Amino acid sequence: MSDLAHHLRDPGDGAERPVDSPLPFRYVYVARSRRSGGLSLGVDLTPQGHCSFSCVYCQASHPPVSNPDLTVDTERLRDELLRKLRADAAGELRDVVLAGSGEPTSVPNAPAAFDAVRQACDEAGFRLPRRIYTNARHLANPSVFDALVAWTAAGGELWVKLDATRPEAFEAINGRRFDAASHLAGIWRLAQAAPIGVQTMLLQGPSLPTPADLALDVAEAIAAARAQGAQIREVHVVTLSRVPSDPRSASVLRAVDADGLAALGAMIASRGGVPVRTFPSR
């Protein structure tokens, strides 16, 4: 096994990350990714586990923190990235992904952190995909919105979580109740300004809408948004693949089987008019 891959961890393992060198990495980790087809260099801007969603399926722990300072040390972030990128002598990395324990756009200096990632990739000569995964809860912040648009203008990818479209479904799946119409409007406004990908989790469990109902809602929302000029490159439909951190969720939630997931993905592709890839449980 290469030095780079020696300390793999699954994406989303949360703040309980291993020490992967004599000088621990705070923001950067290496994970094996189904979607990239190999190794991803993960960038976790919220190693404390802070997130503006509380998804029932999340495998990351989110310990309560009083008055947390969520500001990213951008110099340390850039240094960690450069060290990992330069360690990839065998060219094993498939992409750089901003994801991990929480929501990357929630940190107060998110635009500066995105810039640090871009700079490190450019300095290391890394030309493969750079991706931000976001729950889109912070798009009303103009600096976040503008930074995400700038990210795509510089060649980066944006992937937006869309597990539901109705208030009660957002609450049941993502653990938050908010104005669903405004939330969706923010996503589609972003998609009018910059191309996005959409990621949808479909799963089964008590008190959850059926996967078929959720998939239909997502497909219809995408179709309506595209008719208004939203640029949606692709949809990734995933299902439960890792054990949720919440013991009750772990005991009652179930994945959608591969055939069912493929059928729902095909329906989203047909009704939404977008390419869809499905990722069944491993």
Residue 190 host element (H or E) = helix 180-193
| d(C-alpha 92, C-alpha 88), whole Å | 6
Q: Among 19-33, 165-179, 220-234, which is the least confidently predicted range?
A: 19-33
177-186 mean pLDDT: 97
| d(C-alpha 9, C-alpha 131), whole Å | 18
The predicted model scores a pTM of 0.91
- The closest alpha carbon to 129, from 149, 154, 146, 160, belongs to 154
- The closest alpha carbon to 231, from 272, 267, 190, belongs to 190
Residue 251 host element (H or E) = helix 247-252
Q: Specify whether the CB–CB gap between 139 and 187 falls below 8 A.
A: yes
Beta bridge mates, 269: none
Is residue 57 packed enough to be buried (19+ CB in 10 Å), middle (13-18) or exposed (0-12)?
buried
145-150 mean pLDDT: 98
Q: Burial code of 88-101, b = ≥16 C-beta within 10 A, e = fewer?
A: beeeebbbbbbbbb
Q: Burial code of 134-168, b = ≥16 C-beta within 10 A, e = fewer?
A: bbbbbbeeeebbebbeebbeeebbbbbbbbbbbee
- Examine the pLDDT at 205 and tell me if it is beyond 60: yes
More confident residue, 143 or 12: 143
| d(C-alpha 265, C-alpha 128), whole Å | 27
- pLDDT of 23 reads 53
